[in-house]
Amino acid sequence: MNPQFDKLVGSKRAFFALLLFTFVVMPVMYSAEMITVGQINMIGRYMCFAILALGLDLLWGYVGILSLCQFTFFCLGGYAMGMHLAHHGGPEGIIDGNGWKIPACLFVVYPYDVGESSGDALVPGFWKPFWNLPLTVALGLLIPGLASFVLGYFVFRSRVRGVYFAILTQAIAVASWLVFCRNDVKLCGTNGLVRFDVIAPAESLTTFNPVDAKDKWIESHEGSLDQDLNKDGKLDQLDYSIADVGFSLSSDEVRFGLYLITAACLFGAFLLCRWVVNSRLGRVLLAIRDDESTLCFFGYKPYVYKIFAFSLAGILAGLAGMLYVPQMQIITPSNMEAYRSLLVVVWVAVGGRGTLAGAVLGALVVNLLYNYFTSQHDFYFFSWNPDYWQILLGLMFVLVVLYLPNGLIGLLDKVRGSIGLLLRRNSS
């Protein structure tokens, strides 16, 4: 039988087995209380990292571009969702001169106590679009996608490649971290965005200034109330609170729902990347990695394809960030530090560069090991200190580079091939 056919069938079987485990076995285990909602939440967060790793694997494994600023794009999406959650979270604070409630996390920028006069404090204009969830999702994908497109356009048009590109992206990661740490950027500085209570899938009509709420509603709807008034001539929607139109992030059902949404996005991102690499476009990307000069000789413009791959990786990173923040319930500039983007490189290398499945496997395995080995453990003759984790991670990376160039996926393929060969010999 054709080995390639065997490999294709095996990969499809593995994909559907993982699909079954994620959407059937895990929910059943959760319903049977075999695993806690905290563990479900942890796996959901690690799936976000797997989506991030997919983007880097597309860049590094298939195009040969090593980007060291993927967590910057991750945080752009994360901050977009964080601003939405901050709008709808925290206590009822002060109201600015335009009738907007100042999110609780902005008190580090506007240091007023609850109920004090706002003075000149205003909700920043760039915060306001993130009140609406659909618009937040669109911007959470558009902003990192546009940022990666602009960066890629100027860099790849200038033919920056190799180690120079890696150094440049690392510098961008450091610069972005420094910018987001500043209070005058009005993104809450090093404190980050916190005080998340609910996620509001529909725009709330609740107002914090009911005196002129009716007039504002009439004005925004061009003088038409029609079906929005009850028999007393009042707006029914004004009786609702933000909590009534949103879902509490502390609810077990919501946390489990976020896990399912993240899992669906992970499988969707995997299928998208797989479609790209198996298409004619994917063959061009591989040609860029293997011999860019020859590709130019045949009339192709490699920088166009590089920009596409870099932009797609940025969008995937933004998606991962948006899914991560509601589950973690905080986003700070520390998520943007340069070493974070280096961790993504480790995940992809450990899992298997240029395999897609390896990126997912590496992100999940390394982070699950991190969760275990960053706790204190007492073995028979040895006491494990969480500080040893960095040593273990570095050792793991070195061993993979030296002895497993194809990562864990390559090791699994060898084991599966050996088992299949042994079974065929026994059957014959």
- Tokens for 232, please give them: 């007393």
Give the three-class secondary structure for 43. helix
Q: Per-residue pLDDT tens for 346-388?
A: 999 999 999 999 999 999 999 999 999 988 877 777 788 888 8
Q: How far is CA 69 from the centre of its chain?
A: 13
Q: Per-residue pLDDT tens for 280-336?
A: 999 999 999 998 888 888 888 999 999 999 999 999 999 999 999 999 999 999 999
The whole-angstrom separation of Cα 73 and Cα 145 is 8
Yes or no: say if 190 and 332 are a contact pair by the CB < 8 Å rule.
yes
Q: Which residue has the tokens 């907007």?
A: 100
pLDDT bucket at 241, cuts 50 / 70 / 90: very low
Q: Per-residue pLDDT tens for 23-67?
A: 999 999 999 989 999 999 999 999 999 999 999 999 999 999 999
pTM: 0.86
The highest-confidence range among 62-71, 188-197, 239-248, 373-382, by mean pLDDT, is 62-71
Among 105-119, 209-223, 282-296, 305-319, the minimum mean pLDDT is found in 209-223
Residue 246 has pLDDT above 50, yes or no: yes
In DSSP terms, which residues pair with 383 in a beta bridge? 378
The whole-angstrom separation of Cα 45 and Cα 370 is 13
pLDDT of residue 237: 42
Q: What is the mean pLDDT of the chain?
A: 83
Yes or no: say if 362 and 407 are a contact pair by the CB < 8 Å rule.
yes
pLDDT of residue 112: 56
pLDDT bucket at 90, cuts 50 / 70 / 90: low
**325 φ, ψ (degrees, to nearest 5):** -65, -45
- Annotated domain spans of the chain: 15-204+240-377+384-427, 205-239
Among 18-22, 64-68, 166-170, 205-209, the minimum mean pLDDT is found in 205-209
CB-count burial class (<10 Å; 0-12, 13-18, 19+) for 328: middle
**193 φ, ψ (degrees, to nearest 5):** -100, 125
